[in-house]
Each structure stands twice: as C-alpha cells, then as structure tokens.
C-alpha cells in the first residue's frame, strides 16, 4: 500500500482526519531538512526551503489507492493547489518511498509556521 506523510489537517488531531479513518497509522515522522510550513489560514502548506534545518513533523500512514484518489480531490491536486510526490524522511523512514502533498501557490505574504502545524494555534 502507498505510504503517505501528512503534516496538517489530515493528522490525528486535524479536522480532515476522518478521511484517513480506515487507513493504517505507521508512525510519527519528520522530513529531512530543507522543508518548512506556511499558514494558509485553516491549513498549512509545505514547501521546499533550502536554508531550513528542522524539516517538518507529521505522521506516516499506509493508505489504499481509493483513499489517495479522494485525498487528491480534497487537496486540490487537479487545481494545482498541491502536488503529491515523494518526500525524504528521517530515520526510521529514511529509505522508504513516502509521498506527501507539496503546496504549489506563492507563500510570499503568508505567516511562516516552521516545523509543526498545531491547528487553531496557527490561525
């Protein structure tokens, strides 16, 4: 089953978590350095950040293909809001192929969140 790294509204305490209800949690995870979060209001966007050393925290889930298709719809993949692609994670997922949703729109004026999205605390 495909592995998906989630860092925002899909996390266990997030408002969109119901979309992962029947999927399998593999464990907490963190990306390699070089990625960071910005706030888009009620949800975060992860983007590459060459100067970053912290990475982004989240969870790895094993999801079925039907779920991935629903999530692509939820995350606006067809509208180029996010793109789903592989992301480098730290130990113990370092050698695994894990996908995530990268934010594609400009983040210039958005608040910088950093490594961890905490829902309402960010808005």
CA–CA separation, 8 and 98 (whole Å): 16
Shortest Å distance, C-beta 7 to ligand PCA: 5
Could you tell me how many residues make up the chain?
A: 123
SS3 94: coil
Nearest to 36 by CA among 25, 19, 24, 48: 48
Cβ closer to ligand PCA: 52 or 71?
71
9 near ligand PCA, judged by CB under 6 A: yes
Pair type for strands 57-62 and 35-39: unpaired
87 near ligand PCA, judged by CB under 6 A: no
Per rule CB under 6 A, count of chain residues that contact ligand PCA? 10
Cβ closer to ligand PCA: 11 or 30?
11
101 near ligand PCA, judged by CB under 6 A: yes
Build a one-symbol-per-residue string for 19-58: x at contacts with ligand PCA by CB under 6 A, - elsewhere. Answer: ------------------------xx--------------
Q: What torsion do the CA atoms of 90, 92, 97, 100 make, to the nearest 10 degrees? A: -50
Please give the residue ranges that form the binding site for ligand PCA (CB under 6 A): 6-11, 43-44, 75, 101
């Amino acid at each position: 089953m495909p592995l998906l790294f989630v860092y925002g509204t899909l996390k266990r305490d997030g408002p969109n978590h119901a979309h992962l209800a029947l999927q399998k949690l593999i464990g907490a995870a963190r990306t390699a350095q070089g990625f960071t979060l910005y706030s888009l209001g009620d949800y975060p966007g992860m983007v590459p950040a060459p100067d970053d050393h912290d990475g982004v925290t989240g969870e790895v889930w094993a999801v079925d293909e039907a779920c991935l298709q629903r999530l692509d719809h939820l995350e606006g993949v067809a509208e180029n809001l996010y793109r789903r692609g592989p992301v480098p994670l730290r130990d113990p997922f370092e050698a695994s192929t894990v996908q995530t949703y990268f934010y594609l729109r400009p983040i210039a004026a958005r608040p910088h969140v950093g490594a961890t999205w905490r829902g309402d605390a960010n808005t």
